[in-house]
Structure 1
């Protein structure tokens, strides 16, 4: 019974360590996502999925520490959820939302790829062509505007489709 409880419980001195490492991993991931752009949030290839799984494995191991226990895992998860809620409120009620979140980026305009914008957003030509196909279009020339959204999705406005320019207000490159 004692061994069973050891596997579930945690020494009290480890609690602040877990909270600190979870906070560090969270902030580090936020910084890396900001640096590498919304591209990391797009639909994943097989290699992207492997990298995301490895991120999770490394982050989980760092947060929970050794030996991993149920309580350590719960403390780590709770810390990550509290951080996400706190940063969500910070984005909503302060100007930090513009600093923490990426802005949408215009990557195609009037059928032309905007190479500098694509480079800064870490997008390849293949990413753009994939978005064209997903939009049900047969060619890049059918794209009036394509925007990489902060969520990692690509929004496509078809050529000839009327739209209110207000829709693109706040989009980098418009």
Structure 2
């Protein structure tokens, strides 16, 4: 039967181990280089991602890829995604990122920029994209767990529920927040 599938049980185990290993390595590299590594891609970044996909596919499937190995590798990667989602739902912190406060009111927070690995010019770009013409229009800017930057504008007070998981949220001026 295994001969008809084109893969032996040992080869299938190697596919699973390769998929888990490459997933773990990818996760650690994203953590090391920061969420911004995945947020906004240039044309070169997209080309690199295509090349990485090819490389990762060869690592997961081994030297003689078969349909069976492809299905096992794909199923393993989806299982890893499900495991990550489950860990996030259970609030297991070693897998889930936390948002990072980049601006509190019109004040840019250098420690937030450093932690997020965002330079001021990138922040200014995100502010312009949000239609901000003056820093005084900003209530808060947050690097989200997806790597995107959310800009909250002044004008309406912020519901504390929206920033409950944002570290340093107390730095947002009280007059910009709804009372608890």
User: Which TM-score band (shorter chain)?
Assistant: 0.7 to 0.9
Establish whether residue 142 from structure 1 lines up as the match of residue 143 from structure 2. no
Q: Deviations over 1:63-116 (max 9, x none)?
A: 0111222221111111101121122223323x41x2211100001122232122
**CA distance, structure 2, for counterparts of residue 91 and residue 165 of structure 1:** 21
- TM-score if structure 2 supplies the norm length? 0.82
**CA distance, structure 1, for counterparts of residue 46 and residue 120 of structure 2:** 20
**CA distance, structure 1, for counterparts of residue 63 and residue 51 of structure 2:** 18
Distance verdict in 2 for CA 1:165–1:91, change over 3 Å: closer
Please report the RMSD computed on the Cα atoms of aligned residues, expressed in angstroms: 2.1
How many matched pairs?
167
- TM-score if structure 1 supplies the norm length? 0.84
Distance verdict in 2 for CA 1:77–1:148, change over 3 Å: same
Give the equivalent residue in structure 2 for 1:81: 78
* Superposition deviation, residue 146 in structure 1: 0.3
The structure 1 residue matched to 2:59, chosen from 39, 58, 62, is 62
The structure 2 residue matched to 1:45, chosen from 42, 65, 69, is 42
Establish whether residue 154 from structure 1 lines up as the match of residue 149 from structure 2. yes
* Superposition deviation, residue 23 in structure 1: 0.3
Give the equivalent residue in structure 2 for 1:18: 15
Q: Gapped runs of 5+ residues in structure 2?
A: 170-180
**CA distance, structure 1, for counterparts of residue 16 and residue 161 of structure 2:** 43
Q: With CA pairs under 8 Å and 6+ residues apart, which has the higher RCO, 1 or 2?
A: 1
